Amino acid sequence: MTGRSSEKHALQSLSGVGPQLAEKLGRINISKPEDLLFHLPLRYQDKTHITAISDLVPGNSSVIMGQIQGCDIRFGKRRSLLISVGDDSGSILLRFFHFSRNQQSSFREGAWIQCFGEPRRGTHSLEIAHPEYQIFSDQTKPLLEESLTPVYPTTEGVGPTVIRKLVNQAVSNHIGHLIDILPENIRQEFGLMPLEQALKMTHHPPADADTKALVAGTHPCQQRLALEEMLAHYLALSRIKKYRKKESAPAFSLSGTSWKTLKDSLGYQLTSAQRRVVDEIFKDIHSSVPVLRLVQGDVGSGKTVVAAAAALQAIDDGYQVALMAPTELLAEQHRQTFTQWFDDLGFKTQWLTGKLPVAQRRMALETIANGEANMVIGTHALFQQQVEFHKLGLMIVDEQHRFGVEQRLALRSKGNATDSHSADQVPHQIIMSATPIPRSLAMILYADLDVSSIDELPPGRKPVRTVVIPDTRREEVTSRIRDICDSGQQVYWVCPLVEESDKLQAQAATQTATSLQQQLPEIRVALIHGKLKPSQKDAIMERFNEGEIDLLVATTVIEVGVNVPNASLMIIENAERLGLSQLHQLRGRVGRGSDQASCVLVYQPPLGNLAKERLSLMRETDDGFKIAQKDLEQRGPGELLGTRQTGLAQMKIADLARDRQLIPTIEKISQELYQHHPELITPIVSRWMSQSEQYANV
């Protein structure tokens, strides 16, 4: 019997699980009873007590019990059934948008009802939409749960009740067979609860458990599980790092003169932080151990010239360099910069994106394969199957958080050069990010990388003045635009994502551009958004760069990579909708010249508390590391990184912002395991990471 079929058989040993349900559970990586034990609650519902209606808090789901005072159908935008329920302290409305005639008739005036749901503010009073409920003919003892009710992740065709019953079966029948992988001496040293006890409490919190801690995710049972999950991610990536060090990469001689020639021609001195990071990279690439280094630095800190320093060492030794960017706009920016620098040195920069015409693409592939191209710049097209490098020695990946782990591994595999001398070598990798990653995030998600930080801006760069104003003061903003453009400088007006739709975003930006052109007829206005063809975007950005456009209305496509020194004013509309790191990235598009730059954050009142905190912080600081840490705390790692990294950012119970105090313990336990219990590493990784094989076999 194969491993897979035996797992399915094991799952079908649970009551109520047949082949169809087993297949559906497989979609959420449940293939055996043990997987159900680690299918952990997303949150808890507290159905252990009755809350008086007057004590209800909007947003906090609660159980209430009262008498039905009335039942009425309302007709508005949507037909709804409204039930008025009262107790001794007050009244509330229950609202149903989907209901039957029988359901309506069951809500008899004077009957008693117990219901559970999330109260929200309605037009005149609190309301609960589609609550769970039971109706009684007279006042009776409430039907309450003895402990918190866990709410589990579900999948199509498998509802929450089914999942809960299956987890209960697994806890009752299989938890005793579970092996606690962490040795007892480690558990005792760090005060960790036994795994079986932690899982039982997490799935079935006792009646006297600390409810607030469980809801917040800070209960010792949850912290025990969060620690092991974060440890698994850390071990998986640190194992990749150890495997990488067993491979071979070209050891660059550092004897070429191209970098000194370029550095002398720049017209400015590198900052001490840039010099430090260049030294770290040179030490790396002088070795035959493959480098995987993250170079992070704030907007405008000068990461590109640091990347050029490394690239020239590779090219001087006869190797090719590939630079990959997530968007054509950013790739084009790099092409312009590197062509300007490298042409004078006699090196060929080759452009490769998916949008190249067939004939140009064929020629580009030839120059890459025969080694004529020294520096290859492009988008995801660089790691497509038909792209073959002659002698790839260094890869530079910009805005790495936009790429998944799988994509990084795919490009890395391109490093097996065609010449016999280096056929068994892999390229060095340098990754650049203008989104500074807080240490807690980097420690777990980037444990396979060495990290360098350019934590210093070039001298003379003035901080961007940031103001926050309500939408009602738009006239002042347009007046400011007129003054800026009259002085010969340029302006960005950013319309952020309204919904997850390029079409709607483009529509909003189009309307804004039309309105601004009508208000400012003497100013040259242009529009750029995600629905335009790459060639159209490039043409518009070229005109803006050449000073032929005064005011550029844009969506967030200009978030990274756009460098127009003459642009000194950035207006961000609906700024309250954006996260801190994205606001900081956009603000970094101005202040690149010698003039004082400003950023105006326009918001739609009223502001929520979180939005107020975000916009206030933007006004108070331009430190990207502080901003990234606060963004992590407010919105979590998935939002900070822009897109979730394949597999690695999706944790079942750990929260990297909430649980960052566990990091030092995880580092110590990891060292202990590597030194004394290396055989336990694979079981820990496999238990917590569904894609563990992918990260083990690299």
* Runs of H (alpha helix) within 111-177: 160-173
Omega of the bond leading into 606 within 30 degrees of 0 (cis): yes
Whether 333 maps to a domain, the answer reads yes
Same domain flag for 263 and 346: yes
**Residue 117's CATH number:** 2.40.50.140
Average pLDDT, integer, range 542-551: 91
Q: Which backbone phi and psi does 56 adopt, to 5 degrees?
A: -65, 140
- Go through 556-588 and write b for each residue having 16 or more CB atoms within 10 A of its CB, e for each that does not: bbbbbbbbbebbbbbbbbbbbebbbbbbbbbbb
**How many whole angstroms separate alpha carbon 277 and alpha carbon 273?**
6
Same domain flag for 17 and 116: no
Q: How crowded is the C-beta side of 432, counted as CA atoms within 13 Å?
A: 31
**How many whole angstroms separate alpha carbon 240 and alpha carbon 689?**
14
Average pLDDT, integer, range 239-258: 89
Whether 307 maps to a domain, the answer reads yes
Task: Report in angstroms the alpha-carbon separations of 95 from 61, 67, 109, 195, 242.
Answer: 15, 15, 16, 43, 58
Q: Which of residues 412 and 195 earns the better pLDDT score?
A: 195
Q: Find where tokens 């960052």 sit.
A: 660
Same domain flag for 501 and 597: yes
Q: How confident is the model at residue 408 (pLDDT cuts 50, 70, 90)?
A: low
Same domain flag for 283 and 314: yes
Same domain flag for 334 and 217: no
Same domain flag for 33 and 62: no
Q: What's the pLDDT tens digit per position in 440-449?
A: 667 777 777 7
Whether 642 maps to a domain, the answer reads no
Q: How crowded is the C-beta side of 646, counted as CA atoms within 13 Å?
A: 12
Same domain flag for 57 and 74: yes
Same domain flag for 272 and 333: yes
Burial label for 625, CB within 10 Å (0-12, 13-18, 19+), is middle
**How many whole angstroms separate alpha carbon 497 and alpha carbon 378?**
25
Q: How confident is the model at residue 601 (pLDDT cuts 50, 70, 90)?
A: very high
**270 pLDDT higher than 90:** yes
pLDDT at 3: 44
pLDDT at 292: 86
Same domain flag for 397 and 533: no
Q: How confident is the model at residue 392 (pLDDT cuts 50, 70, 90)?
A: very high
**Residue 563's CATH number:** 3.40.50.300
Domain boundary among 621, 645, 669: 621
- Mode of pairing for the β-strands spanning 375-378 and 450-454: unpaired
Same domain flag for 216 and 304: no
pLDDT at 593: 76
Domain count along the chain? 5
pLDDT at 639: 47
**How many whole angstroms separate alpha carbon 614 and alpha carbon 640?**
13
Q: Which of residues 611 and 342 earns the better pLDDT score?
A: 342
Task: Report in angstroms the alpha-carbon separations of 455 from 222, 273, 308, 458.
Answer: 35, 6, 18, 10
**4 pLDDT higher than 60:** no
pLDDT at 420: 41
CA angle 641, 644, 649 (to 5 degrees): 95
Same domain flag for 308 and 449: yes
Whether 653 maps to a domain, the answer reads no
**582 pLDDT higher than 60:** yes
Whether the Cβ atoms of residue 222 and residue 272 lie closer than 8 Å to each other: no
Q: Three-state secondary structure along 271-312? A: CHHHHHHHHHHHHHHCCCCCCEEEEEECCCCCHHHHHHHHHH
pLDDT at 216: 85
Q: How confident is the model at residue 562 (pLDDT cuts 50, 70, 90)?
A: low
Q: Give residue 223's domain range.
A: 188-246+659-698
**1 pLDDT higher than 70:** no
**How many whole angstroms separate alpha carbon 621 and alpha carbon 627?**
8
Q: Which of residues 463 and 181 earns the better pLDDT score?
A: 181
pLDDT at 108: 93
Q: Which of residues 344 and 147 earns the better pLDDT score?
A: 344
Whether 632 maps to a domain, the answer reads no
CA torsion angle 620 626 628 629 (round to 10): -120
pLDDT at 336: 87
**350 pLDDT higher than 90:** yes
Whether 507 maps to a domain, the answer reads yes
Average pLDDT, integer, range 228-233: 92
Same domain flag for 32 and 92: no
pLDDT at 577: 84
Most confident of 287-291, 418-422, 689-693: 287-291
Whether 627 maps to a domain, the answer reads no
**327 pLDDT higher than 80:** no
Q: Which backbone phi and psi does 405 adopt, to 5 degrees?
A: -60, -40
pLDDT at 253: 96
List, edge to edge, every strand of the sheet that includes 132-136. 119-121, 126-129, 90-96, 80-87, 62-74, 112-117, 132-136
pLDDT at 260: 96
Domain boundary among 454, 473, 491: 454
Q: Is the dihedral of CA 502, 503, 508, 511 positive or negative?
A: positive
Most confident of 340-349, 421-430, 533-542: 340-349
Question: In this structure, what token pair is assigned to residue 268?
Answer: 């400015």
Residues ≥6 apart with Cβ < 8 Å to 687: 38, 181, 228, 232
Q: Is the dihedral of CA 481, 603, 558, 586 positive or negative?
A: positive
**690 pLDDT higher than 70:** no
Q: Which of residues 670 and 425 earns the better pLDDT score?
A: 670
* Lowest-pLDDT range of 205-219, 315-329, 365-379, 630-644: 630-644
**176 pLDDT higher than 50:** yes
Whether 569 maps to a domain, the answer reads yes
**How many whole angstroms separate alpha carbon 503 and alpha carbon 620?**
34
Q: How confident is the model at residue 501 (pLDDT cuts 50, 70, 90)?
A: very low
Residue type, 664: P
**How many whole angstroms separate alpha carbon 176 and alpha carbon 169?**
12
Average pLDDT, integer, range 394-400: 84
Residues ≥6 apart with Cβ < 8 Å to 78: 97
Q: How confident is the model at residue 434 (pLDDT cuts 50, 70, 90)?
A: confident
